[in-house]
Amino acid sequence: MADDPNRPLGDRNRVEREVGARVGYGWIWIFIAIIIILVIWFGGFGWGGYGGWWWTNRPHAAVVGPTPNSGLANNGQPAPAGSPAAVTGSGVQILTANNKQIFVGQPFVINNVPVQKTANDRAFWIGANDNDIMLVVLTGSQNSAGNPNIQNGVRVNLSGTVERAPSAEQAKRMWSLSDDDAKKLEQQGVFVQATQVEAGPAGQQGHQAGQAGQP
């Protein structure tokens, strides 16, 4: 409706101020709404590597598993048949676990695992790499003196039980471990008491090749 030229000037000024105030309040509310939306978006999704506390960046449990190309099956499960140099068996999960002490008393079965180093004729370390290793102690007639295949680099199949490790000083006296190996054993808190050990496929092939070269 056209402005009445006969309306008093004061009335027109009051109307203009009211209209201006309403427009100003409207922009203020729009600005507040935009701020609220941005805060919710930042908290929920984030941007530039920040934010996203509520939905997208919830912490996930770390998956304990072997390193790439280690020859271990993923998540401690047996690797597919035919995989080259695959370390398989229920012992893989124990071998790669950060906390091995929770497996004390459980059976340990592992196949095709390399011998990293030997301590004496009764004890040696197994593992697919230098990080995930465990000490194996032989019992009965199963000893490296009677089985020449148990040497560094040879792959073996073994079964036994996870046992609680003695102190570092006791381990050095019992199995002639070095100071570093005894400390590592004490930190892990467990070892494998093996009841059966045999050379794996790779170890058998290497032993047969050595015998073939003998006169």
C-alpha to C-alpha distance for 37 and 31, rounded to whole angstroms: 10
Distance between CA 117 and CA 15 in Å, rounded?
94
Q: How confident is the model at residue 155 (pLDDT cuts 50, 70, 90)?
A: very high
Could you give the CA distance from residue 134 to residue 97 in angstroms, rounded to a whole number?
Answer: 11
DSSP assignment string, 134-187: EEEEE-TT--TTT-TT-STT-EEEEEEEEEE---HHHHHHHH---HHHHHHHHH
Cα dihedral 197/202/208/214 (nearest 10): -110
pLDDT of residue 199: 82
Q: Give me the pLDDT at residue 188, please.
A: 95
Give residue-wise pLDDT tens across range 65-102: 344 444 554 444 444 444 456 899 999 999 999 999 99
Could you read off the pLDDT of 1-28 as tens digits, one per residue? 555 555 555 566 666 666 666 767 778 8
**Can you list the domains of the chain with their CATH numbers?**
1-57 (no CATH), 74-212 (2.40.50.140)
Q: Is the pTM of this model over 0.85?
A: no
